[in-house]
Structure 1
C-alpha cells in the first residue's frame, strides 16, 4: 500500500504541468478576474459618475458634486465587494433632482445585472455548439466592446454609452461566471478539480481587489481618469484573443460531446506533457458510454429527467444560499463600523482595501485545502463559523451605543466573515455545479444555476436597503436563520465530490434517486 500511494503521488505530481497551469491561469484571467473587476470598478468613483450624469442631464452646467473616498452598495453580492456609503450629496441648483440622479445611477447597476442574467443563461448553449475554447474567445468581444463604449462615455459626453457599455460588459461577465468553472474543471484530472474551483474564486477576489485599488483617489479615482477604469476591461479580452488560439479546447468536451477521440488525445497529451493518457481517455469513454448520446441535451430535457432533479435542486439552492448569506449586509456596515472604531474618513478606503487583500490571501490558502478537506468540509466548517459571527455581530451592533469599545470586536467579526465566505461559500457552489453533472447536461445546468445566481443578486440588491431600514441592526438575525437552515440542508443533502470522477458522482445521485423510489414504492405497497 505505501508503494501504491507513492506511485499515485508521483503520478499526480507529473500530471500537474506548466501547460495545465498556463491554460488554467488564462481561463481564470479571462473569466473570473473580469467578473470580479467589474463588480467593484464603479464603487470607488461613484460620486464622480453621479457628477457626470448630473452634468449631462442638467439644463446648465453645475458645480461638481462633493467628492468622497466612500463607496457604494456593490453592483453584485460577492465576498469582496467594497462597502457601500451611507453619505449622499445633493445636486446643486439647476441640476437634476436627487431621485432622478439615483435612478440614473441605479440603471448603471441594473443594466449590468440584466446583461449578466442573459449571458449566464445563453453561454451553455454556445459552449456546447462552439466548444469551451471558442466560446471564451467569442466572449472577449462583448468584454472589449463594453469597455470601449463605457470608457468613452465622458469623451463623447453621452451617459447612454455608459449604460450600453455596462450592459454589454454584463453579457460578458454573466457568460464568464459559468464558462470559467466549466472549462477549468474539464481540463484537469479529477483529483485537482477542487484546486481549480478554488483558483476560480481566487481570481474573482483578485479582480475585485484590483478594481478597488485602481479606483483609489490617488490612482484613477479622480475626475479626469475614472473612465480609464472602464477601458481596462479590454485587457483580459485582448489577452484571450492572442493566447487562446495557441491553447487546446477541453479534452472532455472533444471526446464526450463531439466524439473526436483524436483531438481529445492531442489536447490531453499537451496538457499532461505525456504520451500516455490512456487512463483518462478510458474514463472519458466510460462516461460517454454511460450517459448515452446526450450531446444535444436540452434545457427541457434537463428539467424532465427525474434522476437529474436531485443534483439540480442541490446546485440551485447553493446558488441562492450564496447570495442570501448576509455578505451584502456585512459589506453595507463595514464603512460605518470602521468609522465608529475611530478610522478616519481618508483612511477608510485603504482599510477596506486591506480587508480585500486578506480575502485574496484566504483564497490562496483555500486552493490546496479544497482537495484535501473536501467540498462538504469547506462548506460546513466556514458556514458554521459564519453563524457564530452573525450572532456576535447582532449582539455587538446593538450594544455599540452603550459600550463604544465593542466596535473593535465588530471589526474583527467583519474581517472574519469575509474570510469565512471566501474560503467556502464563495467558490464552492459553482464548482459543485460543474462537478455533479455528466458532460451532456453540465452546460445547461450551469446556465440555469447562473441565471438563478444573477436573479438572486438582483433581488438582494433591490430589497436590501428596504429590509435594512425596517430591521436596522436586527437584519443579521434574518441571515442567521437562513444560514442555520442552509447548514442543515448541506449536511443531509450535499454529497462529497472530492477525488471522484464525473461519472462516479452522477452514479451516486442516480443510486440515491433509485433508493428513494424504492422506499416510496414500499410505503405505497
Structure 2
C-alpha cells in the first residue's frame, strides 16, 4: 500500500469515527421520537392501572410537546452554535437529553409529562440542527453525502431500537407501568453523546470565523488526506470569511434577497418532509393497525418492521446519495410516497376489518417508510447541512429546522384526531399535499452534488441574487 493510500484510509477512518460519536445525538433523537409509539397505549390506561388516562387529544399533546420543544431547541441551538461552537452546544444538549429522559420516565401526571417532554424536545431539536452541520463542516466534499446521511441512519436506528425495546419490555414485564422503563432507556445515548464530545475536533470553519486560523489548520491536517488539500481548503474558507465580514452583521445579511429566498427553500423542504406524514406513521403505527382490529401486543411487534425497514432503506440511501443527484432521489421518493398513501387510503376505507386488511395496511406503511427513509429523509438533512452560507449556517439551519419541528408538531397533534374523525380519508389528504410537494421540488429545488460548501454558497448566491430566479441545476461531477 502506498503512503497516499494509507493517508486516505486513515483520514476516512477518522471522519467515520467522528461521525459515529457525533451522531449519538441523532440516536437519542431517534429513540425519543420512536419510543412514544410503544408507550402511548399504556399511558392511555387509567391512572389506577398505571397509566395517565390519555384521550386522543391528550395523546396528540404528549406526542407534540417534544416536537414543539424541538422547534425551540433547533432555533436557539443554531444561533448558540454560531457563537460558542458546535461542540459546547452538543455537550449542553447531552445534559438536557438526560434530564428530559429521567423526567418523562418519572412523570406522575399528564402536565408533568408534557413539560418534561418539552425539555427533552429542546435537546432533540438542538441535536437535529447541530449534528449534521458539524459533520458537514468537518467532512471533505467526497465524503460529505455519506457522513451526513449517517446522522439519518442513527435517527432511524434509534427509532428501531425504540420499537424493539418497547415490544421486548412488554413481553418481559406484565406491569402496565412498563412505559416508564421504555422512556428511561433514553439515558444511555445521552451519556454516550456527552462522553464522546471530548473526542471530536472543533469545526475548522467555525474556528476561522473566530480568527483562530492556526487551530483550524491543525484540525484540517488531522482529517484531510494531503497537505495540499489542507492548504487549498483553508485558503477557500479564509477567503469566504473575509467576503462575509465585509458584508456587515448577521441581521444585515439576512436582509439580502437571495438569503431570504434560500431560507424559504429550507423552510419549504421542512414542510415537504413532515407533510409526507412520516412521523404520523412513526408515532402512531400501532394506532393505525389497531384500527384494522389488531391487538396492542401484536401491533407493537408489527411496528418493529417500521424500524428495520427504515434502517435498511437508509443504508441503501447512503449508497445512492453520491451516485444520484439529491433532487432526483427526492422526486423519486415523493412519487412512491404518494402511491403508497393512495393505497393505504383504499385499504383503510374500502376493506372490511380482517387479518388481510391488517397485513395490507402494514405493507402500505412499510412501502411508504422504505422510500421515505431511502430517498427523502437523508436528502433533507444533507441539504440542511450544505445549502446555507458559513456565516449564517447555524442561524438559517436553526430557523429552517425549528419550523420543520413546528410542522412535525402540527402533524403529530392533528393525526390521532384526524384518524378518529376522518378515518382512512386522512391518507388521501396527505397524498394531495405530497403531489404539491412534487411540483415544488420540480420547479425550485437546486442540485448540490459534488460541490464544496464554499462552491455551493457562491453558486446559490449567483442563482438567487437576481430579480428572477429559475430552478438551479448543475451537472454534477
> For this structure pair, what is the TM-score category when the shorter chain's length is used for normalisation?
0.7 to 0.9
SS in 2 for 1:215: helix
Matches within 5 A, 1:385-400: 385-400=336-351
| Structure 1 equivalent of residue 77 of structure 2 | 123
Query: Structure 1 residues 483, 16: CA separation in 2 closer, same or farther (over 3 Å shift)?
Result: farther
Question: Which one has a larger percent helix, Structure 1 or Structure 2?
Answer: 2
Q: Which runs of 5+ in 1 are unaligned?
A: 1-6, 56-61, 66-95, 520-525
Query: Structure 1 residues 283, 63: CA separation in 2 closer, same or farther (over 3 Å shift)?
Result: closer
Query: Structure 1 residues 224, 240: CA separation in 2 closer, same or farther (over 3 Å shift)?
Result: same
Q: C-alpha distance in 1, partners of 2:469/2:419? A: 47
Q: C-alpha distance in 1, partners of 2:6/2:240? A: 22
Q: Please say if 1:358 is aligned against 2:309.
A: yes
Q: Please say if 1:169 is aligned against 2:120.
A: yes
State the TM-score, normalized to the length of structure 2: 0.87
State the TM-score, normalized to the length of structure 1: 0.79
| Structure 2 equivalent of residue 244 of structure 1 | 197
| Structure 2 equivalent of residue 22 of structure 1 | 17
Query: Structure 1 residues 138, 344: CA separation in 2 closer, same or farther (over 3 Å shift)?
Result: closer
Matches within 5 A, 1:452-467: 452-467=403-418
After superposition, the C-alpha distances for 1:184-235 in whole angstroms (9 at most, x for unaligned) are 1111001222112321111110111111221220246844554333333332
| Structure 1 equivalent of residue 458 of structure 2 | 507
Q: C-alpha distance in 1, partners of 2:175/2:418? A: 33
Query: Structure 1 residues 222, 284: CA separation in 2 closer, same or farther (over 3 Å shift)?
Result: farther
Q: Report which of the two structures shows the higher radius of gyration computed on alpha carbons.
A: 1
Say which of 39, 43, 46 aligns to 2:37: 43
Q: Please say if 1:418 is aligned against 2:412.
A: no
| Structure 1 equivalent of residue 262 of structure 2 | 311
Which has the larger displacement, 346-355 or 20-29?
Answer: 346-355
| Structure 2 equivalent of residue 93 of structure 1 | none
| Structure 2 equivalent of residue 285 of structure 1 | 238
Q: Please say if 1:479 is aligned against 2:430.
A: yes
Cα shift at 1:398: 3.7
SS in 1 for 2:368: helix
Query: Structure 1 residues 106, 465: CA separation in 2 closer, same or farther (over 3 Å shift)?
Result: closer
Q: Tell me the matched-pair count.
A: 465
Q: C-alpha distance in 2, partners of 1:461/1:49? A: 16
Query: Structure 1 residues 340, 138: CA separation in 2 closer, same or farther (over 3 Å shift)?
Result: closer
Q: Please say if 1:267 is aligned against 2:205.
A: no
Cα shift at 1:333: 7.9
Q: C-alpha distance in 2, partners of 1:454/1:369? A: 26
Query: Structure 1 residues 205, 159: CA separation in 2 closer, same or farther (over 3 Å shift)?
Result: same
SS in 1 for 2:424: helix
Which has the larger displacement, 454-463 or 433-442?
Answer: 454-463
RCO comparison, higher one (Cα < 8 Å, 6+)? 2
Q: C-alpha distance in 1, partners of 2:469/2:94? A: 49
Q: Is the 8 A contact 2:93 2:126 kept in 1?
A: yes
After superposition, the C-alpha distances for 1:92-125 in whole angstroms (9 at most, x for unaligned) are xxxx9x6x76666555334323322211110112
After superposition, the C-alpha distances for 1:69-91 in whole angstroms (9 at most, x for unaligned) are xxxxxxxxxxxxxxxxxxxxxxx
SS in 2 for 1:207: helix
After superposition, the C-alpha distances for 1:347-384 in whole angstroms (9 at most, x for unaligned) are 33222102311111111121121111121122011111
Q: C-alpha distance in 2, partners of 1:263/1:221? A: 55
Q: C-alpha distance in 2, partners of 1:366/1:342? A: 34
Q: Which runs of 5+ in 2 are unaligned?
A: 471-477
Query: Structure 1 residues 208, 236: CA separation in 2 closer, same or farther (over 3 Å shift)?
Result: same
Q: C-alpha distance in 2, partners of 1:232/1:113? A: 19
Q: Is the 8 A contact 2:387 2:456 kept in 1?
A: yes
Cα shift at 1:132: 0.8
